[in-house]
Structure 1
Amino acid sequence: MEFPVVLVTLFTVLILAGCSPGFEPTDTTAPPRVVDVASVEPAEAVSRITLPGRVESSRKTTLSFEVPGQVGDLALDVGDAFQRGDTLAKLNGERYQLAYERSQASEVEARSDLADAQRELKRLKRLRQGGHTSEATLENAEAVVIGARARVDSAVASRKLAARDLEQTNLQAPFYGTVARRYTEPGQRVAANQAVFDLVSNGDGFDVLIWVPENMIGRVLAESVQLVSVPALDSAQAIARVTHIGSHAADGNDYPVILRIVGPMAGLRSGMTAEILFEIRADSASAPVDSFRVPLTSLLYPVQGAPRVLRLDDVSQLTSVPVKVLSVAGGEAVVTGNLQVGQRVVARGVEFVSVGDRVSVLGESPERFH
């Protein structure tokens, strides 16, 4: 009598299993799911907003002639750079040159009259000593000398004033910089102190002008450090310090705030657009003592009940923690709930895990769960 082939095979497997000391049933438990986590952080006493701004030179001026005249030469145009002391424009100086030469001649004549009066006074003093002239004549000669000396002083002052006016026909750069605006053309007549150029410095640093809404201006910190980026320079970033907080609002009830850029930024020019990641003091009601910051993607919204986060316990098992959302900004949420600073919550993919699951943290060795 022969056993069926199936029975023989099964019997053989059972015998081998019983005789093999290393045989164990296969573990069918699924490995921990890998998740990305974030640490619970305290809600900061600042809030962040991005505000647009405009780059301005820290030093700027409007240049004008101090004397009237006809513009002769204009050496530069808008955008041209210059060095300190460069001549930027000239007036037709013929009139002022003639006035200077006339003042020189008047000074020479006044000095000559003074010399004649002094010689005459000296001669009369000798005569007076010999009794050959009167005291009244001597006193009159002394008065003539005093008058002649006054006319010399006046002539000297006139000569200096004419020289200064002649010098003012040349408009020189007070610093190293760039022409921001030109108001006149060659041949145009200009009055004294009429604007000719707007100049901005290229060597004294840059400021950023921003406008802060009225509901935030009271929480801007003087001397606070902010982060500035310039889109035109591939969003290059620099640190800027608040140097001025305006006290008068513009038409839109926004207040001017000026920040000084700290350090150089290659390619930066006055007039460029800037963006400021502006930190201001948070409203005390928006950041209670027991509030925390968590990623916005860590929030799980059930069909019913409060939103929650999935917190990892000591054995990396997930626990559901209800939270109250106070504010949302910049990809983060400020919440209150049964959390502590430093605890870890699932940062992304909360919809793919469940309460009670044991998880493996992305980037950490799985052996820690064995």
Structure 2
Amino acid sequence: MTTAAGPWASVVALVASLLLAGCGEQTEAEAPPPRPVRVITVDKGQGGQLVTFTGQVEAQDQAALSFRVGGRMIERSANVGDQVKAGQVVARLDPQNALNTLRSARAALTAAESQLVTAANTFERQDRLIANGFTTRANHDAARTAQQAAQSAVDDAEAQLKIAEDNVGYTDLVADAPGTVTARGAEPGEVVQAGQMILQLARKGGRDAVFDVPAQMLRSSPADAVITVSLSDDPGVTATGRVREVAPQADPVTRTFRVRVGLDNPPEAMRLGATVDGRVRLSNDPMIEIPASALTAANGKPAVWVVDTSSQTVALRNIEVGSFSPAEVGVASGLSAGEVVVTAGVQALHPGQKVRLLGAGS
């Protein structure tokens, strides 16, 4: 029995040794190679994120010209794009009703003045009679009251006459300042109401570049920032300006705020309604900027993978984001100039992993 078991024991030992050797070779083969990653060496930028918004040129002062009385418009002598002068008549209403009212007011004043003359003469007679004792105090008081009533009627008639005269003048729509017509609200032949916009006038003078800006950008923008404005179809035509007005309430649909930038000496090519681009830096403090693709999350906070160049391993580090755009992220804290950050392949890394650097440009 002992002699028969000897050869089988030798075979079993040989097979076990071969299996162990194979497992060792497999373990060595499964050791992962360093993962290739794309990186950059970070550095502080020149002073914050540069953002661009698109808007349009508008007049700083726009007015809606309208009649102060209603009626049928018989003439409109200005159209969109026309230049008008101060005092120029730009539209007219049919004045017939106003002229009839004026004639009625004049007749009422004439009648009231006649009544006043009669009442004044009556009171003068009563005044002389009571001085001589030939009339009663009641007659004297009645004459005085009649004179006062007649005087009040004259005052009322004069006021009505002034209103009628003004209404005749209001049938002419007059431009109160020079400017350019930018819109019209009624055509000749229409019956218009008092206060209805007939023409919209961009008064001659300053121009604004108007933009719709998110609230985050308003908070990040430095005070009294100089904004560079250029034509969208011709970037060589530029002007500068500062924020002149910010809407106190956000648009209910877009949740953006209307910002008006007063332009300093805009060129003639920046006509009313032209599409323009405005550029401004959100912060004057230098800030490290990294590609948005480098951003990940750890512990519910923004983070990046930082490479230890001596050991060629990565570590996850939380950062504080100062600004954000679809292309770049401004880092307020958490990184130092000269550190190497992974910009591509961040989803497949784990702390302490060996990496192979594909690019380390700043």
Partner of 1:83 in structure 2? 85
Runs of 4 or more above 6 Å deviation: 326-331
Q: Is the 8 A contact 1:114 1:148 kept in 2?
A: yes
The number of equivalent residue pairs is 262
| Matched AA of 2:194 | A
User: What is the aligned counterpart of 1:160 among 140, 153, 162?
Assistant: 162
Query: What is the DSSP-based 3-state SS (H/G/I as helix, E as strand, rest coil) of the residue aligned with 2:49?
Result: strand
Match of 1:215 in 2: 216
Q: In the TM superposition, what is the alpha-carbon distance from 1:215 to its structure 2 partner?
A: 3.5
Q: CA deviation at 1:328?
A: 11
Structure 1 gap segments, 5+ residues each: 1-40, 292-303, 307-325, 339-370
Corresponding position: 1:54 with 2:23:
no
Say whether the 8 Å CA contact 1:84–1:176 is kept in structure 2. yes
Partner-residue secondary structure (3-state), 1:281: coil
After TM superposition, the score normalised by the length of structure 2 is 0.65
Query: Paired residue for 2:237?
Result: 236
Q: Residues 131-188 of structure 1: CA distance to partner in whole angstroms, max 9, x if unpaired?
A: 2211111111000001001101110111111111111111111211111111111111
Cα pair 2:208 2:263 within 8 Å, conserved = yes
Aligned match for 1:112, one of 93, 107, 114: 114
Name the CA shift for 1:216/1:45 in 2 (closer, same or farther; >3 Å).
same
Q: Which residue of 2 aligns with 1:347?
A: none
The amino acid of 1:287's aligned partner reads M
Question: 1:200 — aligned with what?
Answer: 202
* SS of residue matched to 2:337: strand
The answer to whether the 8 A contact 1:245-1:258 is kept is: yes
Assess if the C-alpha contact under 8 Å between 2:72 and 2:191 holds in 1. Answer: yes
Q: Distance in 2 between matches of 1:153 and 1:328?
A: 71
Letter in 2 for 1:110: A
What SS does the aligned partner of 2:282 have?
Answer: strand
Letter in 1 for 2:151: R
CA distance in 2, matches of 1:154, 1:248: 47
Mapped to 2, the partners of 1:120 and 1:328 lie a distance apart of 90
Report if the CA contact (8 A) 1:233-1:268 is conserved. no
Distance 1:252 1:126, change over 3 A: closer
Matched AA of 2:88: D
Correspondence list, 1:175-324, <5 A: 175-201=177-203, 203-231=204-232, 235-250=236-251, 251-281=253-283, 287=287
Separation (CA, whole Å) in 1 of partners of 2:164 and 2:192: 19
| Code of the aligned partner of 1:71 | M
Paired amino acid for 2:242? R
Q: Which amino acid letter does the alignment assign opposite residue 287 of structure 2?
A: A
SS in 2 for 1:127: helix
* Displacement after TM superposition at 1:74 (Å): 0.4
* Cα distance change of structure 1 residues 278 and 132 upon mapping to structure 2, 3 Å threshold: same
User: 1:218-245 CA distances to partner (integer Å, 9 max, x unpaired)?
Assistant: 1123432111112456631111101223
Distance 1:222 1:244 in 2: 13
Amino acid at match of 1:204: G
After TM superposition, the structure 1 = structure 2 runs for residues 80-159 of structure 1, keeping only pairs within 5 Å, are 80-159=82-161
The alpha-carbon distance between structure 1 residues 80 and 139, as it changes in their structure 2 partners (threshold 3 A), is same
The one-letter amino acid of 1:154's match is: D
Question: What secondary structure sits across from 2:208 in the alignment?
Answer: strand
* Residue 131 to residue 253, structure 1, CA distance change in 2 (3 Å): closer
Q: Could you tell me which amino acid in structure 2 is paired with residue 336 of structure 1?
A: A
For residue 287 of structure 1, report the CA deviation from its aligned partner. Answer: 1.2
User: Structure 2: how far apart are the matches of 1:245 and 1:269?
Assistant: 22
Structure 1 residue identity aligned to 2:259: V
Q: Do 2:59 and 2:208's aligned partners in 1 also have CA atoms closer than 8 Å?
A: yes
The alignment's C-alpha RMSD in Å is 3.1
Instruction: Tell me, in whole angstroms, the C-alpha distance in 2 between the residues paired with 1:277 and 1:330.
Output: 16
Paired residues of 2:225 and 2:280 also in contact (CA < 8 A): no
Give 3-state SS (helix, strand or coil) of 2:220's partner: coil
1:3 is aligned to none
Q: Is the contact made by 2:213 and 2:256 (CA closer than 8 Å) also made in structure 1? A: yes
Q: 1:195 deviation in Å? A: 1.8
Structure 2 CA distance, aligned partners of 1:328 and 1:167? Answer: 58
TM-score (structure 1 length as normaliser): 0.64
Tell me what 2:355 maps to: none
- Paired position in structure 2 for 1:38: none
Q: Deviations over 1:73-123 (max 9, x none)?
A: 100111111011111100000110111121112112211211221112112
Deviation of 1:190 (Å):
0.9
| Distance of 1:72 and 1:264 partners within structure 2 | 38
Amino acid at match of 1:96: A
* 1:48 Cα deviation from its structure 2 partner: 0.8
CA distance 1:328–1:272, shift in 2 (3 Å) = closer
Shift of 1:72: 0.9
CA distance in 2 between partners of 1:165 and 1:141 (Å) = 36
Against the structure 1 CA distance between its residues 211 and 174, is the aligned structure 2 distance closer, same or farther, given a 3 Å change threshold? Answer: same
- Rounded to whole Å, the distance in 2 between the matches of 1:172 and 1:267 is 29
Contact 1:75 1:89 in 2 (8 A): yes
Which residues of 2 match residues 168-179 of structure 1 at below 5 A? 168-179=170-181
Distance 1:328 1:81, change over 3 A: closer
- Structure 1 pair 74/233, CA: closer, same or farther in 2 (3 Å)? farther
- The amino acid that maps onto 2:71 is G
Q: Any idea what the Cα deviations from partners look like across 1:39-75, whole Å, max 9, x if unmatched?
A: xx96344321221111111000212112110001100
